[in-house]
Structure 1
């Protein structure tokens, strides 16, 4: 199974796929003693799923997946400036 997915399913990663219309998402997750499959179907509209490159794999952070499931378009979202701790190894950030 890990060879087919390209990653280790027991690592905590979620594997998400969508249908051609874009109104259904399937999420495959390891639940500790087996797999859990979740399906989310929209009555109207489509999910704003990021386009995959030639490989067909898109790695997204959990916050971006939550936005997609919540009906938001991550490409249209604007991130706000946040404080970042300066890195002493990189003098350009100090």
Structure 2
């Protein structure tokens, strides 16, 4: 779904997904310490990990992708505070997440950002 040239960042902690563009951009800036208008894709999960919002700036505005599983949850590895605030994922890992496939192997090859 995403070209390999787009950086994908996954926020480690849960986020209140009731917020839209400005709230997710503020979280990206203030919590993740990254630029939401960089062209990267920023992923946020709710506490139950059954919903995902992705924020992306595409030259002239933000786009939000919102996915909700009707049953089950995204299969993410467990994170601790030592993991930092976000990790960078490959486009393949992101596609796996959207498909609902387990990404436990992320723990061994992820790149910690903060």
Q: Tell me if TM exceeds 0.5.
A: yes
**Does the 8 Å contact 2:54/2:64 carry over to 1?**
yes
Q: Helix, strand or coil for the counterpart of 2:86?
A: coil
Report the equivalent of 2:40.
13
Structure 2 residues not aligned, in runs of 5+: 1-25, 107-114
Bigger relative contact order, structure 1 or 2 (CA pairs below 8 A, ≥6 apart) = 2
Native 8 Å contact 1:29 1:35 kept in 2: yes
Q: CA RMSD in A?
A: 2.1
Number of residues paired by the alignment? Answer: 77
Larger Rg: 1
Query: How many angstroms does 1:16 deviate by?
Result: 0.6
From 88, 92, 95, the equivalent of 1:63 is: 92
Q: Name stretches of at least 5 consecutive residues in structure 1 with no aligned partner.
A: 78-94
